[in-house]
Each structure stands twice: as structure tokens, then as C-alpha cells.
Structure 1
């Protein structure tokens, strides 16, 4: 937990209301998201019990497994869930747009929109990942055949679960983590993991304090768990008697499960309302473009008859994926800071960012010490904030992200002020005269930071058939390794 987050939590407790951790919304929020609330049977590995899903907050669809231990019942549930999800994800393939690539010499096409799934918590994401793994390899022929929609559902769930690991992706989001990244409560992180308790702080019922709302959320009789785990008392006293008979009373089972799931359904839509009220960050749209690229590529893979995602990555694929995730995490952290002064405040506190005023500016300075002269303006800035950068460091400003500012010198003027001399490059046009406004003027207030949105190349990895023996050697063909 960062210093400012800890301060916000303390302030939330003292004032009895949640405190903002962001001034803008850092995730794309779809106009037609699908909310999915899975429930699993206790004591059974990934045995679905029910799911409430849909895009209409007033008319959720409830799917119930009459007997979770029965294989036919589970896959009938999977087929019904596939009908909902596959229809939803396929509804965005109607319109494409051209995207220039290779510096405008070629174009590619992607869909103009993409689906977005919401689950209540990280447990919901884990459920979808496991359920996808248990369904995407199922055969549609033979003795244990399943409907054709079941393996297709598994591939889509795996696609969404994998995307949820990518920082900044908005294809599959969970409520508690998204809310917690935008607001701080006066309770512990463990308590924030319960959606009802978290919403008790963010949107308490009229006439209740946040403490009363959070306390009520701790009572499963008043507020059932958000899943996929169920309440033990509900399991023992209500669910077990209904499932212990050979022929369960499906209408009664549906009634009690609806009562367990509907409160979380309503909380999820209230959470989306809170997020929708925040202004969106300027770099969110760019990340959603990346999500649309991923969705378009996966749809193309399905249409071309590509194989299901592997059970596990090989050494090279795993290393490449880790590299992509690390780059995405770094890029997302930088973009959040550039979009949001509250997030940037953490970096200013750490001394890796500071606000300064331009006191001198020489916009027409030419550096002719190299093979050819280049435009290299210099500016002098003065700041009263801590400066923990040294000569030679590269800084950027969110106002001019394509421009680099090289630190030439750092001089302490007195106990409170520091003077920094900077040399600018990039973002000023291709001529020997800087374009108007591209060089900061005297009196302008700048935010400077070591954070950068500059392109980060991925790691260099061998081809899979060149996997070194230290990492298992080349992968064995599936026909040999798997019966």
C-alpha cells in the first residue's frame, strides 16, 4: 500500500466516507456490458451451481444446475451459458474499420466495437478460467459428446480470462478491483474484497452510515456472498436438503438461488453507475483500441479453424507472454499517472516527478557539435519540490509526451528551491526552427517526470523448435505427448 493510499484510508475512516484515489476513470466502460455472476458448489472442483447473466439490468437470466454432480446437467448448463455469451460476443462483428499499418503503406481491419464482461470479484475471473479449461477440449462426437457450443464457450472464456491478466485491458473486469483502484475506504483490503462491504462505503443506503452499511454487508442472511463461493450456512441448511434427493425440486432451487444472486446483480449495476459518473481518462480509448485488436484477432482465429488454446504454454511462449505482461504493466502505470494528477502525486512524493516553473528558455539553440547541426533548445526550471534525478537523466512532461528533456544540471538554490537545466529533443517538428508552442515559454508551469510512454520493444526469444535444453528442449508434438 502506498503512502497516499494509506492516508486516504485513514481519512476515509475519520470522515466516514470513501475517498477518491483517482480523478478520472481509468477503464473503458461499455454502453452494453454483460454482467455475469457465477456460483459454484462448495466442496466440488469448479462444479457450477448457477449463474446470473445478461445485459439488461432489469431482466437478468438465471441458469441453474439441478444436480451439480451430474455430468449431463453441468454440460447442459454450459450449453445454456454458451447460448448467452456466444450470442453476445458475436454481436460486435458486424462492422469493421481500416487501420493504417507500416507507416501508412498498408491497412488492416478490426471491428469497431468489442464485448465487455463484468464479474463481481477475482474469484469470478478464476471460475471462468477453470470453466473454460474444462470445456474447450470437450468432444462433440462419441460417447461423451457435448453440444458444439460448449467447446466454443470454453475458448471464449479462456480468451477473456487471459485478457484479464493484461494490465489496462477492459474485456473482462471484476467489480471489487476496479472500484478499489478508484476509491479508498476506511476498512481493510480483505474487507474491500467483499463487493457488498465495498459498496457499503461507496454507495450506502439512504439513511445509513458507511459503518452501518458495511456491517450489514457482513451478514450473509442480509447480503449473500457475491460468489463463486456460497455461504456455508446456506449450503448446510437450504441447499443441501434440496440437492440430497434424487429428483431435486427445480422451481424451489431456482427460487432460492435467485434470492442469493439478485442482490449481487443489483450491486454490480450500481457499481457501474458509480464508475460511469467519472470522466474518462484521455488514454483509455487507446487501450480499448488494443482490446478491439485482440478481439478481432481471436474472431479471425476462430473463423480460420484455429486450434483451442493449449493447456499450458511452452517455455518460449510463456517467456514471451511474461514479457508482454510486464510491458503492459509498465505502460499502464505510466498512462494512469499521465492521465490523473492524483496518481501522479505518488510519483511526486517519491521524487521521480516534480512541478516546476520555466524561468529561462532558449528556443532557437542549435547543437553543432555532431556530424550535423540539430535543434536542441534549453530551458531552466525552478521547483520547490524534491528532485531526485541526476545529470543525464531523461524526463518527459504529460503535456508533451513525445518530447524528451535531458537533465544537464541540478543546482540547489537554497533549502527550499532547486534549479534544473534541461535540453529538449523531439516533438518540435522536423525543421531547424521549433514549431509554435512546442518549446515551453518563460512562466509556464511544467510537470516533469522520469516516467515515459516511449515504445518498449519486446524481448528477443528463440523459435519454439529452438527451445534450449535448460528449458525442456523443443516441445513434443501433441500427437506424441497426449494420447
Structure 2
């Protein structure tokens, strides 16, 4: 927990009302999201009991498993869920757009939109991941066949669960995490996992949150006491009232999730959210193409090379997401200013036409002086970036203490055109307020990983030769 979030939690506790910790929305909220509330029996390994799903807040579809321990009933439930979810997922695989690649020398195509699925909490993602694993390898013929929609559902669930691990992705989202990214409550992080309580803190305050804690859980596991005293008799007697009981249990969470979406839509969207959604559309388009061309289910475990490459992608995405959030949101950037990796100031001197002719050819290298009252913890030679001009680098020439703070002399490069005269507005002018940080959105190239066949047998490569065994 960061310093400012801890402070916001203390203020929320004192005021009895959730406090904003973001000035913009840091995720994409779809105009037509698919809301899914999975429910499983407590104490059972991924035994689905019910699900409430749909794209219309006024018309939720309730799917019920009459006997959660019965294999046929579970796969019938999977087929029903596939009938609701898969058509939604594939409905975006229609219109495409051209995207320039290789600096405009070539184009590729992606779909103009992509689906978005919401679950209440991280337990919902875990359930979908496990349910996808248990269904994507099922056979549609031979012994114990399942409906053809079941393995397809499993592949899609595995794709969505994998996408949810990518920082900044908006293909599969949890409501409590999305709200927690933008508001801080006066309760613990564990209590924030209860959607009703978290939502009450934001909408009404602490008193309403205490009342909401007594309400139904958001799944995916039911309460053991509910299982023993309410659920078990209904299942054992095949009571038709089971559907009514489950609908009553899930409806408050369903309504709360749609209210949460309205709250999030009320926030102005961050400037860089759109570029991350473009990445989601790329991922979706690639997976649709995979299903059309090959359609093989994802392996149970990645090989060593694939796992290392995925880990690097996740690490790069996490770094990029943190930087983008800070560049989009002054409240997020404030945490970096407290840590000394960012500072704000005013340009007091500027030499926009300075030429550096010490190299083989002259280059444009303007210099500016920035006066700041904040503590500066960067040294000469450090490279800084301004969120206002992310493609421009500012190298620290000197940091001089003054009576009121520091004067920081910077040399600029990039983002000014290709001539020896800077394009208008590309060099900060005297009097301009400037924010500078060590954070950077610069592209991070991926590492060169070996071909799996070139790795040792311990990492998936060829087995040792017979000569080496003797």
C-alpha cells in the first residue's frame, strides 16, 4: 500500500466515506459488457452450482446445476453457459481495421472492437480458470462425450483468464479491483473483497457498509452454513424452489455490479486507456484467428521458453502500466513525487536554438532551466521525461541548490522534428510549468530466447544421447 493510499484510507475512516485515489479512470469500460457471477459449492473442487450472466441489467439469465456432483449436470451447465457467453465473445469478430506496421511499410488487421467480461472478485477469475481447464480438453465423441460447445467454452475461459493476468488488460475484469483502483475505504483490504460492503462505502458510507456486510456473498463459493441448512435439502429433494433461492442470493450482487459500472463510467477516462484497449483488441483478434486456423486448446503448462517469454511480457506490461497510470493521473504521479523520482517546476531560462557540434555532425540540443521548490533526488547525467512530451528526453546537466529549492539545467533531445530548428511548441518556453520524472514509456525490447529444441532436456529440449548415458 502506498503512502497516499494509506492516507486516503485514514481519511475515509475518519470521514466515514470512501475517498477518491484517482482523478481519471484507468481501465476501459465497454458499452456492452458481459457480467458473469459464478457460484460453486463450498468445499467442492470447482463444482459449479449456478451462474447469473448476461449483457442486460434488466434481464439476467440464471443457470442452475441441480446436482453439482453429477458429471452430466455439470457439463450440461457448461453447455448452457457456452450458449450465453460464446455468442457474445464471437459477436465482435466481424468488422476489421488496418493497422500500419513496420513504420508504415506494411499493414495488419484487427477487429474494431473486443468483448469485455466482468466478474465480482478474483475468486471469480480463479473459478473461470479452473473451469476452463476442466472443459477445454473434453472430447465431443468416444467415451463420455460432451456437447461441442463445452471444449470451446473452456478455450475461451482459458484465454480470458490468461488475459486477466496482463497488467492493464480490460478483457476480463473484477469489480472489486476496479473500484479499489479508484477509491479507498476505511476498512481492510480483505473487507474490500466483499462487493456489497465496498460499494456501500463509495455510495453511502461506513454505516451502510456495515449493514451490507450482512448481505449475500458475491461468490464464487457459497457459505458452508447456507450449503448445510438451505442448499442441501433443496438438492437432495430436487426441489424446484432451488432456482428461486439462488436467484434471490445472486440478484443483489448482479445489481451491485451494474451500479459499479455506472460509477466507473462517471469518471473521465485516462489518455492512455485507449492504447491499452488497442492491445486487448490485438490479443482478441489473434485468438480468433487461432481458433479459426488451428483451434488447439492451450497446454496445461507452458514449456520453459514459453513461460520465460510470458513472464517477460508480464513484467514489461506491469512497468508500462505503472508509468502510464502515473502519466495520466496527477494523484498517482504524486506518489512518485513523494519518493523523489518526479518533481514539478517552472521554466526560467530556455535556449531552443542551441546546436551541439561536438560530434561528427551538428545536432539540435536545446537547454532549459527549471526552478523547483520540491526536493530533487536526481543527479547529473540522469534521463528525465515529461508526461506532456513523452517522446522527448531531458538529460540532467546540473542541479544547483537555491534559497527556495533547486535550479535544474536540462539538455533536450528527441520530439522536436528532424531539422536543426525545433518545431513550434516542442521546446518548453519560459514560464511554462513542467513535470519531470525518471519514469519513461520508452519501448522495452524483448530478450532473445532460444528455440525449445536448443534447450537442455531438463527444459523441454531433446533427451540426452545414449552415449551421454554411459
Q: Is the 8 A contact 1:466 1:473 kept in 2?
A: no
SS at match of 2:409: strand
1:354 aligns with 2:350: no
Write the deviation string for residues 283-335 of structure 1: whole angstroms up to 9, x where unpaired.
00100000000000000000002311000001111100000000000000000
Q: Distance in 2 between matches of 1:472 and 1:402?
A: 40
2:408 aligned with 1:420? yes
Other-structure match for 1:243: 235
| 3-state DSSP of counterpart to 1:361 | strand
CA displacement 1:418-472 (0-9 Å, x = unmatched): 1110000000000000001000011111000000011011122111111235x53
The match for 1:435 among 420, 423, 435 is: 423
TM-score after normalising by structure 1:
0.95
- Pair 1:302-2:291 in alignment: yes
Distance 2:210 2:433 in 1: 46
Q: Give the deviation of 1:109 after TM superposition.
A: 0.7
Partner of 1:389: 378
Q: Which residue of 1 aligns with 2:468?
A: none
How many angstroms does 1:15 deviate by?
1.2
> In structure 2, how many angstroms separate the alpha carbons of the residues matched to 1:119 and 1:202?
19
Q: What's 1:474 paired with?
A: 461
On the 8 A contact 1:411/1:419 being kept in 2, the answer is yes
* CA–CA distance in structure 2, aligned partners of residues 229 and 197 of structure 1: 17
**1:216 to partner: Cα distance:** 1.3
- The SS at the match of 1:39 is strand
Q: Give the distance between the partners of 1:458 and 1:178, measured in 2 at CA.
A: 29
SS in 2 for 1:92: coil
- Is residue 2:387 matched to residue 1:398? yes
For residues 99-119 of structure 1, give each alpha carbon's deviation from its aligned partner in whole angstroms, at most 9, with x where no partner exists: 111111111111000000000
C-alpha distance after superposition, 1:184-240 (max 9, x if no partner):
011111111111110110112xxxxx2221111221xxx110000112221111001
1:91 corresponding residue in structure 2: 91
Q: How far, CA to CA, are the matches of 1:103 and 1:449 in structure 2?
A: 28
What CA distance in whole angstroms lies between the structure 1 residues aligned with 2:414 and 2:253? 50
* Structure 1 segments (4+ residues) deviating >4 Å: none
What residue number does 1:51 align with? 51
Structure 1 Cα separation of the partners of residues 399 and 55 of structure 2: 56
Alignment of 1:325-344 (within 5 A): 325-344=314-333
Report what 1:128 is aligned to. Answer: 128
Q: Return 374-383 or 234-243, whichever deviates more.
A: 234-243
Whether 1:62 and 2:62 are equivalent positions in the alignment is: yes
Q: Which moved more, 1:157-166 or 1:297-306?
A: 297-306
For residues 274 and 306 of structure 1, the distance between their equivalents in structure 2, rounded to whole angstroms, comes to 38
1:208-223 equivalences in 2 (<5 Å): 210-219=205-214, 223=215
Query: Superposition RMSD on alpha carbons, in Å?
Result: 1.0
The total of aligned residue pairs comes to 463
Does the CA-based 8 Å contact 2:456-2:462 persist in structure 1?
Answer: no
What does 1:19-34 correspond to in 2, within 5 Å?
19-34=19-34
Determine the C-alpha separation between the residues in 1 that align with 2:95 and 2:342.
43
Segments of structure 1 that go 5 or more residues without pairing to the other structure are: 205-209, 477-483
* Structure 2, unaligned runs of 5 or more: 464-470
